[in-house]
């Protein structure tokens, strides 16, 4: 960004500065021998124009709202409207969550976000033996369409957008939402919302699965195809790095593996015969925001640039919407400490700030007591207020990409980009030129799992050696009694849920259920798109477990190889 | 043995602990994910383990951990097995688990060295 003559002057100036001004300050060394981010990426003392000499402003940064979107996906960013403050919530039965939804809608919130309990996430009914102790614990329990009817009772589906954090059983929940729209006479093409539905990161990091990776991908692509045809305002996949980071990856690994997963879905959809410009605008992303503020900003900016370029270069995406990397951010749950829990408010604030400076489209801020238990109401409120203070008091949202042009941040963005691209090359090579095959191969061989485990073990060792400071844990500890007010979910939830499931099963037309499940089984057998059949089955009140069993019978179940430890 | 019980998929802690114990010279078996309590009991009895570390972050510990303890008791294996628990366990629940036969609960932020020391001092001699 500077001409050669000017750069030469800067270089000379820097030499002079080092001799005359700096040297007495570094004679006895600095505070540490080596300064590094939480991902163990070394950072320099000072960045100057020399570090960004190769940057081409128009090519590499450009203007917000235009490719390569380094500076943001929209021209006015938060001056037009702030990011969506989307706090993830759900607990107990459908009635309790429905009450919460009504409260949020009355407060003017139009984006609902649903957390499911573990059995629903794993495609099990509440009366399954493995569901004992888990029903309604970390989210709402959904067994049949009846639960969804209660969950959205009194809520017009054409007036809200709903995000569903669900993966292996995502097709069932998606089908239930479509069935609900049909019941309400809401045209399917008006449905708005997001399914997480990212199975790759499940095998890589979050570890919720039913059937093996390859058929899982087939079913994900079914949902994308169905969305393109039937619900074009509904996002069928949220490609997620959040869980990869939580499992212990570094920032570049998080970004690289997530982008690789995204490109793998793109390739599978293209080989299905879908037009990239029909489905790519429906893809969205989900990232973590961790402690090292500038590293995170660099991650968001470089990911946008890479995505925009690759969608064009490799997949010939023509529409702007197909090349925009739009993402949700959640602050790093894993960084929270049980010790001195109020300190977590500060951690979350800094992480949220990084997400905002990085140009996120929506944000979830964690509650300070999450290392101890499910969050209390007070902690949830502080978490939301944190976002409102950043948006409305701090002024950081008033200028688009305010860190753009910072020598340090631009340099970190370039270095991050390089690390991500190296991984992308490696993964593509594992698939002999196919990202889709590379990701599947990487999962099967435990490549991703090993890379993440190595990074998380190294990090833990740095903490143990005191090289990473964790305030309140390995420095500045106090004796304290941390017993916060804790939200308890009773076992009663399971009993009520099982009762309802039994009632639904008694009242439904058993023959119709059987027929719908048989037709689904045939469709699975024939390799057809399963979505229309799942919609028919849920309309007959077939349960989540019954539907997932059809998949499992044909494709088998998945067991992770754990030899890697 | 390091065990994950129930549907909880948070395996970062379990894997780090398993690796740390291995590096400290222990023979370590990791159960993998999504096991019923009875499956963990079977595996622990078959492998004749000295120490069973259960990692759980899903909030289902009050249901699942007692079932593991009960199973070990039925196999007369509880007295010879040092059972420890790691994860997000509220204080009241911790008391409960200790009463039922868990030797120690390690919360978030526990130095690995502390866990290893505890096992060295308390596991049965062989």
Closest to A264 measured CA to CA, from A308, A348, A199: A199
Determine the 3-state secondary structure of A237 from DSSP.
strand
Helices A251-271 and A407-430: crossing angle, nearest 10°?
50
- Would you call A133 and B22 a contact, using CB atoms and an 8 Å cutoff? no
Q: Which two tokens stand for residue A3?
A: 């001409």
The CA–CA distances, whole Å, from A342 to A405, A439, A477 equal: 34, 40, 13
Distance from the Cα of B50 to chain A's closest Cα (Å) equals 19
Asked if the bond preceding A559 is cis, omega within 30° of 0, the reply is no
- CATH for the stretch B2-122: 3.40.50.280
State which residue of chain B sits closest to A488, comparing Cα positions. B59
Instruction: Tell me the three-class secondary structure of chain B, residue by residue.
Output: CEEEECCCCCCHHHHHHHHHHHHCCCCCCECCCCECHHHHHHHHHHHCCCEEEEEECCCCHHHHHHHHHHHHHHCCCCCCCEEEEEECCCHHHHHHHHHHCCCEEECCCCCHHHHHHHHHHHCCCC
Report which secondary-structure segment, H or E, holds A307: helix A293-313
The CATH 3.20.20.240 domain(s) of chain A lie at: 57-91+196-464
Per-residue pLDDT of chain A (565 residues; tens, 9 = 90+): 788 999 999 999 999 999 999 999 999 999 999 999 999 999 999 999 999 999 999 999 999 999 999 999 999 999 999 998 887 766 667 898 898 888 878 877 777 889 999 999 999 999 999 999 899 888 899 999 999 999 999 999 999 999 999 999 999 999 999 999 999 999 999 999 999 999 999 999 999 999 999 999 999 999 999 999 999 999 999 999 999 999 999 999 999 999 999 999 999 999 999 999 999 999 999 999 999 999 999 999 999 999 999 999 999 999 999 999 999 999 999 999 999 999 999 999 999 999 999 999 999 999 999 888 777 878 888 999 999 999 999 999 999 999 999 999 999 999 999 999 999 999 999 999 999 999 999 999 999 999 999 999 999 999 999 999 999 999 999 998 766 555 566 678 889 999 999 999 999 999 999 999 999 999 999 999 999 999 999 999 999 999 999 999 999 999 887 655 6
Instruction: Tell me the three-class secondary structure of A395-447, residue by residue.
Output: CCCCCCCCCCCCHHHHHHHHHHHHHHHHHHHHHHHHCCCCHHHHHHHHHHCCH
Radius of gyration of chain A (CA): 25
Q: Which two tokens stand for residue A565?
A: 């430890």
Q: What is the ipTM of this complex?
A: 0.86
Check CB contact of B98 with chain A, cutoff 8 Å: no
In chain B, the N- to C-terminal Cα span, in Å, equals 16
The domain over range A57-91+196-464 is classified in CATH as 3.20.20.240:
yes
Q: Judge contact between A92 and A81, C-beta under 8 A.
A: no
B-proximal residues of A, 316-335, CB under 8 Å: 334
Top residue of A207, A246, A452 to mutate, by most chain B CBs within 10 Å, is A207
């Amino acid at each position: 960004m500077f001409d050669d003559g000017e750069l030469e002057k800067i270089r000379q100036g820097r030499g002079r500065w080092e001799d005359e001004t700096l040297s007495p300050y570094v004679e006895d060394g600095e505070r540490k021998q080596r300064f590094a981010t939480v991902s163990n990426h070394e950072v320099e003392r000072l960045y100057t124009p020399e570090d960004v000499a190769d940057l081409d402003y128009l090519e590499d940064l450009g203007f917000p709202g235009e490719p390569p979107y380094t500076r943001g996906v929209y021209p006015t960013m938060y001056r037009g409207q702030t990011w969506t403050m989307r706090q993830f919530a759900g607990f107990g039965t459908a009635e309790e969550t429905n009450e919460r939804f009504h409260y949020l809608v009355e407060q003017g919130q139009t984006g609902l976000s649903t957390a499911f309990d573990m059995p629903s996430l794993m495609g099990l009914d509440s009366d399954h033996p493995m569901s004992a102790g888990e029903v309604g614990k970390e989210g709402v329990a959904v067994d049949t369409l009846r639960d969804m009817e209660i969950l959205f009772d009194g809520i017009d589906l054409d007036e809200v957008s709903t995000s569903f954090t669900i993966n292996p059983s995502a097709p069932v929940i998606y089908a239930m939402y479509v069935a609900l729209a049909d019941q309400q006479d809401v045209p399917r093409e008006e449905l708005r919302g997001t399914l997480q539905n990212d199975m790759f990161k499940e095998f890589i990091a979050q570890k919720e699965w039913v059937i093996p990776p390859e058929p899982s991908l087939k079913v994900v692509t079914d949902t994308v195809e169905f969305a393109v045809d039937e619900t074009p305002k509904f996002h069928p996949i949220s490609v997620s790095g959040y869980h990869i980071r939580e499992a212990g990856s570094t920032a570049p690994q998080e970004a690289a593996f997530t982008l690789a997963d995204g490109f793998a879905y793109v390739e599978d959809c293209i080989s299905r015969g879908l037009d990239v410009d029909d489905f790519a605008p429906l893809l969205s992303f989900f990232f973590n925001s961790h402690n090292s503020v500038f590293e995170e900003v660099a991650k968001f900016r470089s990911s946008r640039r890479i995505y925009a370029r690759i969608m064009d270069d490799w997949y010939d995406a023509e529409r702007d919407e197909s090349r925009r990397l739009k993402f949700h951010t959640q602050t790093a749950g894993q960084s929270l400490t049980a010790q001195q829990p109020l300190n977590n408010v500060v951690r979350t604030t800094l992480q949220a700030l990084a997400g905002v400076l990085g140009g996120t489209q929506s944000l979830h801020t964690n509650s300070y007591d999450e290392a101890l238990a499910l969050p209390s109401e007070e902690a949830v409120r502080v978490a939301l207020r944190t976002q409102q203070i950043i948006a409305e008091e701090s002024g950081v949202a008033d200028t688009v990409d305010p860190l753009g042009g910072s020598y340090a941040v631009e340099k970190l963005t370039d270095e991050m980009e390089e690390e991500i691209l190296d991984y992308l090359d490696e993964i593509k090579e594992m698939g002999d030129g196919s990202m889709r095959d590379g990701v599947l191969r990487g999962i099967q061989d435990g490549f991703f799992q090993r890379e993440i485990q190595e990074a998380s073990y190294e990090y833990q060792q740095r903490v143990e050696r005191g090289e990473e400071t964790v305030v309140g844990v390995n420095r500045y500890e106090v004796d304290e009694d941390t017993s916060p007010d804790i939200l308890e979910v009773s076992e009663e939830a399971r009993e009520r849920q099982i009762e309802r499931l039994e009632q639904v099963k008694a009242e439904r037309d058993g023959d119709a259920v059987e027929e719908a499940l048989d037709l689904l089984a045939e469709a699975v057998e024939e390799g057809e798109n399963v979505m229309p059949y799942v919609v028919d089955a849920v309309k007959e009140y077939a349960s989540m477990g019954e539907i997932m069993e059809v998949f499992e019978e044909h494709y088998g179940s998945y067991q992770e190889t754990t030899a890697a430890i | 043995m390091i065990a994950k019980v129930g549907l909880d998929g948070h395996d970062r802690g379990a894997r780090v602990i398993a690796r740390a114990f291995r590096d400290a010279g222990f023979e370590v078996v990791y159960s993998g994910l999504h096991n019923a309590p009875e499956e963990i009991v079977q595996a622990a009895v078959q492998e004749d383990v000295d120490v069973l570390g259960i990692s759980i972050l899903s909030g289902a510990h009050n249901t699942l951990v007692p079932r593991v303890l009960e199973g070990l008791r039925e196999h007369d294996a509880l007295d010879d097995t040092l059972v420890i628990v790691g994860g997000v366990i509220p204080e009241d629940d911790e008391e409960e688990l200790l009463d039922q036969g868990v030797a120690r609960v390690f919360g978030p932020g526990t130095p690995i060295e502390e866990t290893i020391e505890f096992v060295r001092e308390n596991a049965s001699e062989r």
